[in-house]
Amino acid sequence: MNIGFVSRWILSAAGLTVLATTALAQQLPETPLVEPEAIAALNNMGAYLRTLKAFRVEAATTDEDVLENGLKIQYSGVSTILAQMPNKLRSEVKDDRHQRQYLYDGKTVTLYAERLNYYATLPAPDTIAKLDDKLDEKYDTNIPLVDLFRWGAPGWSANDITLAADLGPAVVAGTTCQLYGFRQAGIDWQICIQKGDYPLPLKLTITTTTDEARPQHTAVYSWNLAPSYNAAAFTFTPPAGAGKVDFPEAQSTAHAN
């Protein structure tokens, strides 16, 4: 067999393939990095969440930590939120490492570590959004599932999103939804939004891209839009023997004082 002929034929075929692919690409419309449909769906979901007056949501969560030796460890848990907008919140977090409650009655917020039987109470601002701002800025912590209170709220914007794509239909726990993928500085994230008149988030996955191990946080949501509750649900009564401690401030703030 003429090796030179075979080599020339392979190179020629490869060249034709490249030319054909290039010609096809020139005929197809260019897909934008930020698809307007994906941003519109995210904005629509956020606007709908802001119409909810009260809700209960349970999230089955999975979090990944990367140890110093590079070993990736997963932790599973359940976070439950009862919210009466704009200024009542009860949140419980139970996972492999923590068991905590957050109670906010519009005037004070209490963090209770159930396994340790210690609690800390602070004066609080008059909305859930302002409360999270205070916890974030001064105490380096956030309300569990805080994104549910951020999407569509005043000050929230999709301008930091550098990639947005509609990834097609999906199903979460038997419910039909649409899957969207997004990229921001340091994270890639995807969200399944329920189709129809109730565009609720059903699943969220966040991947940290600044770590080469790419650890993930995943939450699968179950919603109740007509929860039963009373005012006592948001009030903290210290259990017998519970110790009171100061709310731990962020290191930079504590040092500044």
pLDDT digits (tens, 9 = 90+) for 26-66: 544 456 799 999 999 999 999 999 999 999 999 999 999 99
Residue 168: what pLDDT?
Answer: 97
> Strands (DSSP E) along the chain, which ranges?
54-66, 72-84, 88-95, 99-104, 108-113, 118-123, 163-172, 175-184, 187-194, 201-208, 216-224, 243-244
pLDDT of 95 > 80? The answer is: yes
Per the CB < 8 A criterion, the answer to whether 63 and 82 are in contact is no
DSSP characters over 211-247: STT--EEEEEEEEESS----GGGG---PPTTPEE-PP
Residue from 142, 169, 177, 147 nearest 49 by CA: 147
- Tell me the helix, strand and coil percentages in the chain, rounded to 5: 25, 40, 35
Q: Which residues pair with 109 in a beta bridge?
A: 104, 122
User: Would you place residue 67 in the very low, low, confident or very high pLDDT band (cuts 50, 70, 90)?
Assistant: very high
Number of neighbouring beta carbons within 10 Å of residue 128:
24
Pick the CATH number of 36-256 from 1.10.150.110, 3.30.565.10, 2.50.20.10, 3.90.600.10: 2.50.20.10
Number of neighbouring beta carbons within 10 Å of residue 204:
19
Residue 32: what pLDDT?
Answer: 74
Between 201 and 23, name the one with better pLDDT.
Answer: 201
Locus of tokens 């930590």: 65
Q: The tokens of 226 are what?
A: 């007509």
Instruction: Taking residues 4-24, report their average pLDDT.
Output: 40
Q: The tokens of 219 are what?
A: 């939450």
Per the CB < 8 A criterion, the answer to whether 130 and 146 are in contact is no
User: Would you place residue 5 in the very low, low, confident or very high pLDDT band (cuts 50, 70, 90)?
Assistant: very low
Number of neighbouring beta carbons within 10 Å of residue 14:
10
Residues 145, 81: Cα–Cα separation, whole Å: 8
- Where do the domains of the chain lie? 1-29, 36-256
CA distances from 202 to 47, 121, 171, 173, 177 (A): 16, 32, 9, 9, 8
